[in-house]
Amino acid sequence: MAEIKVPELAESITEGTIAQWVKKVGDRVEKGEFIVELETDKVNAEIISEEEGVLTQILAEEGDTVLVGQTIAVVEAGEGTAPAPKAEEVKEAPKTETPKAEAAPAPVEEVSGERVVASPAARKLAREKGIDLAAISPVDPQGRVRVQDVAAHGSKPAPQAVTPAPVATSGPMVFTPAGQSDRVTVEKMTRRRQTIAKRLLEVKQSTAMLTTFNEIDMTNIMALRKRKQEQFVKENDIKLGFMSIFTKAVVAALKKYPYVNAQIAGDEIHLNNFYDVGIAVSTEEGLVVPVIRDADRKNFAQIERDIKDLAGKARDKKLGLNDMAGGSFTITNGGVFGSLMSTPIMNGTQPGILGMHSIVQRPIAVNGEIEIRPMMYVALSYDHRIIDGKDSVSFLKMVKDLIENPEDLLLNS
């Protein structure tokens, strides 16, 4: 018999949430096979079996919070030919209480005599909502009902007595029309979303965050990119994008203004002598910030490859802890979603973040004449405790000047 335990993933991670069981009780399991997906604050981790055999017990349901070192399943020798006990049969002792007459359970099992295959979490949710599992159409090709299937099912909970909503005595009041719960869809925050919310709030509360703005005339850099794109792709097998250009401009500006690349540690200021630049990537589960290591030592093509690889890993939920650890400065590009201007929130203990935005054709004055130019607003949010206004404005102005004058950018690379 082998116990499947939650492994140690990183020093800062002590718990996680069971996201999905890819094996069910009674299934054959090979050594090294992926059997359960664990969602942590930072990444999703695949937990494997160290032994081959049959999965005989599942001790934590999908949606449960589990601790590092906790046993969540048991694998025993065998071929998986005989049905194994269900998880709830292993976990729950027989109840001895006499059921109350007025507390008859809602129908949640099929009446045909054949048991519906469903995850424990799905059964629990179905019981709470009074939904017949047999009436649910699962998306799993093997017919297993999961939590998402129950949540998406159109059945409504049994009518409940209308009671007056309690009056909040503190904090914001949330108004939900009594007796009209169908007008509100309640969705539980994922562990990752909870972590994002918590950390962003911590940054707002623990720093003296301020934002300065500027605008960049993108004419010259767009013309250069257009002229050199074919040659760049031919030589490097990847396109030249704006993110690598801005990354190189940021690194040059960080070298000139080192406090924008520093952090506060107690009553000390730590000036970083490395340039690990985080690139914010949007995923279905929220924003993640993988890091381009030693961006100062890489050329445009190497940075473009790093960005492509990290973005792909983020979308496929394959980012590791090392991909996101550290980082001395962050760049985020809301322009890909159409943002014209914003005040980005800093990432963790970093002292600054650069926000890029949409490129928009606007009339501007050039040598006393009005011309239509492709313009981008940029924003630098920074911690005023460590960065003075002069440095922050000068830093952003240098980024602007380097983008508007590509020759200078090449000389600083």
CATH of domain 2-95+106-152: 2.40.50.100
Identify which has the larger pLDDT, 134 or 165: 134
Question: CA-to-CA distance for 404 and 375, rounded, in angstroms?
Answer: 10
What is the pLDDT, as a whole number, of residue 300?
Answer: 96
What is the pLDDT, as a whole number, of residue 47?
Answer: 87
What is the pLDDT, as a whole number, of residue 128?
Answer: 74
Question: CA-to-CA distance for 20 and 139, rounded, in angstroms?
Answer: 14
**Which of 72, 38, 37 minimizes the C-alpha distance to 55?**
72
| Same fold yes or no, 2-95+106-152 and 194-412 | no
Query: DSSP class of residue 297?
Result: G
Return the CATH number of 194-412, one of 3.30.559.10, 2.60.120.560, 3.40.50.300, 2.60.120.620: 3.30.559.10
Q: Token pair of 162, please?
A: 């209308």
Domain spans of the chain? Answer: 2-95+106-152, 194-412
Q: What is the mean pLDDT of residues 312-323?
A: 86
Paired strand residues for 286: 283
Q: What is the mean pLDDT of residues 265-282?
A: 93
Look at 119-123, 250-254, 382-386 and tell me which has the smallest mean pLDDT: 119-123
Residue 366 makes CB contacts below 8 A (sequence gap 6+) with 373
* CA-to-CA separations, 177 to 142, 329, 349, in angstroms, rounded: 40, 45, 41
Whether 307 and 244 have beta carbons less than 8 Å apart is answered as yes
**Radius of gyration of the chain, Cα coordinates, nearest whole angstrom:** 27
Q: What is the mean pLDDT of residues 118-141?
A: 72
Check pLDDT > 70 for residue 15.
yes
Q: Token pair of 42, please?
A: 């930072």
Identify which has the larger pLDDT, 25 or 160: 25
Check pLDDT > 70 for residue 185.
yes
pTM of the model: 0.62
Using the Cα atoms of residue 290, residue 296, residue 299 and residue 300 in order, give the sign of their dihedral. positive
Burial class of residue 261, CB neighbours in 10 A (0-12, 13-18, 19+): buried
Whether 292 and 309 have beta carbons less than 8 Å apart is answered as no
What is the pLDDT, as a whole number, of residue 303?
Answer: 97
Q: What is the mean pLDDT of the chain?
A: 82
> Residue 55: enclosing H or E segment and its boundaries?
strand 53-58
What is the pLDDT, as a whole number, of residue 212?
Answer: 97
Question: CA-to-CA distance for 345 and 352, rounded, in angstroms?
Answer: 9
What is the pLDDT, as a whole number, of residue 165?
Answer: 52
Question: CA-to-CA distance for 347 and 331, rounded, in angstroms?
Answer: 10
Work out the pLDDT band at 220, boundaries 50, 70, 90: very high
What is the pLDDT, as a whole number, of residue 110?
Answer: 40
Whether 116 and 134 have beta carbons less than 8 Å apart is answered as yes
**Which of 247, 249, 275, 248 minimizes the C-alpha distance to 261?**
275
Look at 193-197, 332-336, 342-346 and tell me which has the smallest mean pLDDT: 193-197
State CA 22 to chain mean position distance: 21
Residue 331 main-chain phi, psi, to 5 deg: -120, 135
Q: pLDDT by residue (tens digit) across 135-168? A: 887 766 556 677 667 777 754 444 454 545 554 5
Question: CA-to-CA distance for 196 and 18, rounded, in angstroms?
Answer: 18
Using the Cα atoms of residue 315, residue 318, residue 323 and residue 325 in order, give the sign of their dihedral. positive
Q: Token pair of 119, please?
A: 């995850």
| Active-site annotation, residues | 384, 388
What is the pLDDT, as a whole number, of residue 148?
Answer: 67
Look at 9-18, 28-37, 141-150 and tell me which has the smallest mean pLDDT: 141-150
What is the pLDDT, as a whole number, of residue 108?
Answer: 47
Question: CA-to-CA distance for 276 and 294, rounded, in angstroms?
Answer: 5
Whether 134 and 107 have beta carbons less than 8 Å apart is answered as no
